[in-house]
Structure 1
Amino acid sequence: MKRDWDLIRKQLTDVEEENDLFADIPPEPAWKDQEFPVYEKQLNEYRAIEGRIFGHLELLVNSGYIDGLQLIRSADGLFSYGLHSPRLTMAGHDLLDTMRSATIWENIKATAKTKGIELTFDAIKALGTLALKSAFE
């Protein structure tokens, strides 16, 4: 899975606003009267979306940005979860505050691309500081 910073930004916002963290996961396809290859394709597409959403939440939980959510990845790559009042940690609030403004966020991404810097949690914080300084100049 390739890290998607726009999805991470959305997920942090969803936690803060107490939105459904799994709303973007479509219903799991059911094997009805279609041919097996059609069902298999639908199931693979569903699992790709589910894996992308859960995978990014897993990154945020494991990095200490979200608390109140437990994710378990099985040996076959499927996820199960437990929710108990998901909330942002202080670090999660700080990261979201850096990414919240659309103008600052676009500036962070553009600066990273121009400078050839890969976006990491630390790079976002550093570039966010620079973007804020340039916003006041």
Structure 2
Amino acid sequence: MVRNWGDVREVLEDIERDRLEEKLKKLDDNLTIASQLPTTDPEAVAAHEAENRYYEHLLMLIEAGLVQGVKVRTKPAPPPWYYDIEYPRLTMEGHDLLAALRSKTVWAAVKEKAFSLSIPITIELIKTVLSSIAKGI
């Protein structure tokens, strides 16, 4: 799986707007429907890819300490993902990252800096660019 900042933003927004559990149930329902199709069916493949992509990004955000109140695990038997939700919420850093991802100014500066240095976009780069923009105020 490749980290996708658009997917990161989607997961953070789902948590901020209290719709994470609804989103996870929808992914599970789509996978249940898709499991009745041949595994090569485009709809089944898309359902598996969407679920994996979303859960993997959620897991990364949890591991990075940006999200609390949710546990995500994998298991060998289908469905491969399961979760426990207590009270999902963004940490302060999670809110800061979401704000940076929403800001066209910050995001353009992050992409420009990453391109000019030929480096990947990371949370640390986003923080550095955000800090440099704030110092210019």
Query: Could you list the runs of 5+ residues in structure 1 that have no partner in the other structure?
Result: none
Alignment of 1:91-110 (within 5 A): 91-110=93-112
Q: Would you say 1:52 and 2:53 are equivalent positions?
A: yes
Question: CA 1:106–1:113 in 2, change beyond 3 Å: closer, same or farther?
Answer: same
Distance in 1 between residues matched to 2:6 and 2:114, nearest whole Å: 14
The offset of 1:38, in angstroms, is 4.9
- 1:66-105 matches, within 5 Å, as 66-75=67-76, 78-105=80-107
Q: CA deviation at 1:133?
A: 4.3
Farther-moved stretch of structure 1 (53-62 vs 23-32): 23-32
Instruction: Give the helix-richer structure, 1 or 2.
Output: 2
CA drift of 1:73 comes to 1.3
Judged with a 3 Å threshold, the aligned counterparts in structure 2 of structure 1 residues 105 and 59 are, in CA distance, closer, same or farther, namely: same
State the match for 2:44 in structure 1.
43
CA distance change for structure 1 residues 85 and 117 in 2, over 3 Å: closer, same or farther?
Answer: same
Q: If the length of structure 2 is used for normalisation, what is the TM-score?
A: 0.78
Return the TM-score normalized by structure 1.
0.78
Tell me the equivalent position of 2:127.
125
Q: How big is each residue's C-alpha offset from its partner over 1:15-65, in whole Å with a ceiling of 9 and x where there is no partner?
A: 122234627737222526xxx4654x4322211110000000000011111
Whole-Å Cα distance in 2 between the matches of residues 117 and 84 of structure 1? Answer: 37
1:27 and 2:8 aligned: no
Seq. identity, %: 27
Counterpart code for 1:73: T
CA distance in structure 2 between the aligned counterparts of 1:93 and 1:31, rounded to whole angstroms? 39
CA distance in 2, matches of 1:125, 1:70: 26
> 1:63 maps to what in 2?
64
| CA RMSD across the alignment | 2.5
> 2:5 is aligned with what amino acid?
W
Once the two structures are TM-superposed, the CA of residue 13 in structure 1 deviates from its matched residue by 2.2
CA contact (8 A) 2:106 2:129 kept: no
Q: Is residue 16–residue 89 contact of structure 2 (8 Å, CA) maintained in 1?
A: yes
Aligned positions, number: 131
CA contact (8 A) 1:66 1:92 kept: yes
Measure, in 1, the Cα distance between the counterparts of 2:40 and 2:100: 43
